[in-house]
Structure 1
Amino acid sequence: MRADRLVSLVLLLRQRGRLSAATLARELEVSTRTVLRDIEALSAAGVPVYAQRGRHGGFALLPGFQTELTGLNHDEALALLIAGSRRGAQAFGLGSALASAMLKVIDALPESHRHTAAGVAERLLIDPDTDLLARRTTTDEIPDATMAEIRRAVFAGRKLRIHYAALDQAPQWRTVDPIGLVTVRDQGYLLATRSGADRTYRLSRIHAAQKLDEPAERPDRIDLDRAWQERSTRFRTGGDQVTVLIRLNPKRREELVNTALAVHTERTDADGWLRLEASFQDSRHAEWALWQLSTQAEALAPQWLRTSLHNRATALATRYNETI
């Protein structure tokens, strides 16, 4: 890992010129103390890094320094394969590998194209962390060591032990046969089988993982897209689903459709509002979805949902009726 970081440090200095220790630390996702130790290691190895003090100081390479350090390692090559989605790389624990790989790709370009490519990159921002309303997007956080172990088991075709916390349950160890990894809307999933039955595990709920030596019981080839579609269909049509009759402001229709599992019927009332029959994953999902729509939606049935929303609204009104 340190060798890759030293390469990345050299390439950053080659491509951007003088950089401060704080900037290097941010780019490499390490502390400034680590950067200073790495600079010392590079100098000891004969890499001509020099420091310039002052307000605009930092570290730089002597002009004309060349190196042949552009070879991609396994994780960097893998990160480039999924570089169409920067968040996809992050979801699979390959964010830092992607950044390192892109530095090497730029460095491998002919000098006549290198500066142009770097300039173009400064003009593009893909998947920023917040949208126009400053709402922060969220990506599942998985420890690097855990994600690396999961990837190794998936790619090597070995059984995998995971310490998994199902929703509202304490974590338990279980052994699975991993099939593949999927990322959807910044959330990562492990597709696997357990005792021959299909299982889908949310990566952020895997607290620890261990690749085993025993070969996984799985087909040699897999249509991952088809497998995901089949599991999605079973998820939408099974379990504790509830169906709700809703009156809805048509301006909020898209929001409801994107939240519900399915909309079965829809018509327009005389006042222009919509009347829909929609299904949700369970009672908690239904209550959450209607609560998000506030007064722009009304649950007409079932009665238990109307009662639950009424109690929730009453409790909130009581809280804010108190004088502080």
Structure 2
Amino acid sequence: MRASRLVTLLLLLQNRGRLTARQLAEELEVSVRTVYRDVEALAAAGIPLYGEAGHAGGYRLVDGYRTRLTGLTADEAQAAFLAALPGTAADLGLGGALATAQLKLRAALPAELREHAGRIQERFLLDAPGWYGRADGTPHLAAVAAAVWERRAVLLRYRRWRAPEEIERRVEPYGLVLKAGRWYLVAGGASGVRTYRVDQVLELHVLEEEFALPDGFALDAYWQAYLADFRARLHTGEALVRLSPEGARRLGPDAGEGLDAGEDGEAGKDGEGGWTLARIPIESIDHAHGEFLRLGAEVEVLEPAELRDRIVATVRALAARYPD
């Protein structure tokens, strides 16, 4: 523990120049007396550092004492710091390790590359979750990550959307994926490889059993195939609609494919105030009902009849609710 602290103290002095004993104590979360002892230990080990008394004093290293990391370009240094996401590391219980790693990397960089790396952290920030979704609680994430790293099977109790809503399974955690602010566990089990939302894990026990990944399994390839399958299952039908220019804009770019004319030439401008006739892929009647209602009078649903009837019934109910 002390050896790690001594290295951190040395790196702090390399990165920041002169620091007082009080500043070092706050960074290292130790007493000032401990800092004095650590500085004496570094000096005894031959590290060229010295202290300066007075209000503007402190400890510093002899100019030029620095380990250099060679072969790293400015772009590579920027990429290294841009790829280090403190929020993600903290979620996995690696926040402290990441901070130390960045400190070591920064200390090893030549001065000009240290400046580039510092600019990245000052000017770029990744905040992955969406605006309107609250951050999911993932109390078991660190344990899941440890099981993934150590290749140990786990017994988990999991909440899912269909009955039975709570299940218990023994799975072998192959990897973790962070998608749109949510963590997903990719794991093998008796029913094959499955994907589990980590925030839906109710209870988890790491077992002593170790496992090996199946031959040929690659996390990135599995995830891409999983996303392709998800998208294929997402849209189970289509709707024929009329959209005003505002309705087409509000429907968003994701619906752009549905605004193209089909083979029958049915889709396209209908010549009435710039309205567009379009076939839009839909997930389900229930989902499309809510999505099209958001557009209000900027859309008219023509097909399927079941969806049009549902919207008509809703509009009539709304009119009755507001008779004035």
* TM-score, L = length of structure 1: 0.62
| Residues 292 and 36 of structure 1: CA distance in aligned 2, closer, same or farther (over 3 Å) | farther
8 Å Cα contact 1:91-1:188 kept in structure 2: no
What are the Cα deviations for residues 116-163 of structure 1, in whole angstroms up to 9, with x where unaligned? 2454335531335799xxx578665423xx222222322333322233
| Residues 259 and 118 of structure 1: CA distance in aligned 2, closer, same or farther (over 3 Å) | closer
| Residues 237 and 128 of structure 1: CA distance in aligned 2, closer, same or farther (over 3 Å) | closer
CA distance in 2, matches of 1:119, 1:83: 10
8 Å Cα contact 1:241-1:279 kept in structure 2: yes
Does residue 175 of structure 2 align to residue 186 of structure 1? no
Larger radius of gyration: 2
Which amino acid in 1 is paired with 2:292? L
Match of 2:222 among 218, 227, 233: 227
Q: CA deviation at 1:199?
A: 1.5
Does residue 247 of structure 2 align to residue 248 of structure 1? no
8 Å Cα contact 2:14-2:61 kept in structure 1: no
Q: What is the aligned residue count?
A: 289
Q: CA deviation at 1:195?
A: 1.3
The 3-state SS of whatever aligns with 1:227 is helix
Does residue 138 of structure 2 align to residue 142 of structure 1? yes
What are the Cα deviations for residues 33-58 of structure 1, in whole angstroms up to 9, with x where unaligned? x979545585375259x9xxx9xx9x
Q: CA deviation at 1:250?
A: 5.1
CA distance in 2, matches of 1:290, 1:90: 39
| Residues 299 and 182 of structure 1: CA distance in aligned 2, closer, same or farther (over 3 Å) | farther
Instruction: Give the corresponding residue for 1:166.
Output: 160
Does residue 194 of structure 2 align to residue 199 of structure 1? yes
8 Å Cα contact 2:13-2:60 kept in structure 1: no
CA distance in 1, matches of 2:59, 2:257: 62
Instruction: Give the corresponding residue for 1:270.
Output: 271
Which amino acid in 1 is paired with 2:83? G
CA distance in 1, matches of 2:61, 2:215: 50
| Residues 318 and 121 of structure 1: CA distance in aligned 2, closer, same or farther (over 3 Å) | same
- For 1:75-114, what aligned pairs fall within 5 Å after superposition? 84=83, 86=85, 89=88, 93=92, 96=95, 97-110=97-110, 112-113=111-112
8 Å Cα contact 1:261-1:281 kept in structure 2: no
CA distance in 1, matches of 2:316, 2:275: 22
Q: CA deviation at 1:107?
A: 1.7
Gaps of 5+ in 2: 41-50, 70-78, 262-266
What are the Cα deviations for residues 6-32 of structure 1, in whole angstroms up to 9, with x where unaligned? 97687567635799xxx99xxxxxxxx
| Residues 6 and 63 of structure 1: CA distance in aligned 2, closer, same or farther (over 3 Å) | closer
What are the Cα deviations for residues 63-83 of structure 1, in whole angstroms up to 9, with x where unaligned? 228899x9xxxxxxxxx9896
Which amino acid in 2 is paired with 1:150? V
Aligned-pair identity in percent equals: 27
Q: Give the alignment's Cα RMSD to 1 decimal.
A: 5.3
CA distance in 2, matches of 1:207, 1:3: 39
Does residue 47 of structure 2 align to residue 46 of structure 1? no
Does residue 150 of structure 2 align to residue 156 of structure 1? yes
* TM-score, L = length of structure 2: 0.62
CA distance in 2, matches of 1:188, 1:240: 24
Instruction: Give the corresponding residue for 1:74.
Output: none
Gaps of 5+ in 1: 25-33, 71-79
| Residues 220 and 129 of structure 1: CA distance in aligned 2, closer, same or farther (over 3 Å) | closer
The 3-state SS of whatever aligns with 1:244 is strand
8 Å Cα contact 2:86-2:98 kept in structure 1: no
| Residues 171 and 103 of structure 1: CA distance in aligned 2, closer, same or farther (over 3 Å) | farther
Q: CA deviation at 1:261?
A: 12
The 3-state SS of whatever aligns with 1:153 is helix
CA distance in 1, matches of 2:259, 2:189: 33
Does residue 171 of structure 2 align to residue 176 of structure 1? yes
CA distance in 2, matches of 1:226, 1:180: 12
CA distance in 1, matches of 2:89, 2:315: 37
Which amino acid in 2 is paired with 1:187? R
Q: CA deviation at 1:219?
A: 0.8
8 Å Cα contact 1:161-1:211 kept in structure 2: yes
The 3-state SS of whatever aligns with 1:174 is strand
CA distance in 2, matches of 1:199, 1:116: 44
- For 1:115-126, what aligned pairs fall within 5 Å after superposition? 115-117=114-116, 119-121=118-120, 123-126=122-125
Instruction: Give the corresponding residue for 2:302.
Output: 300
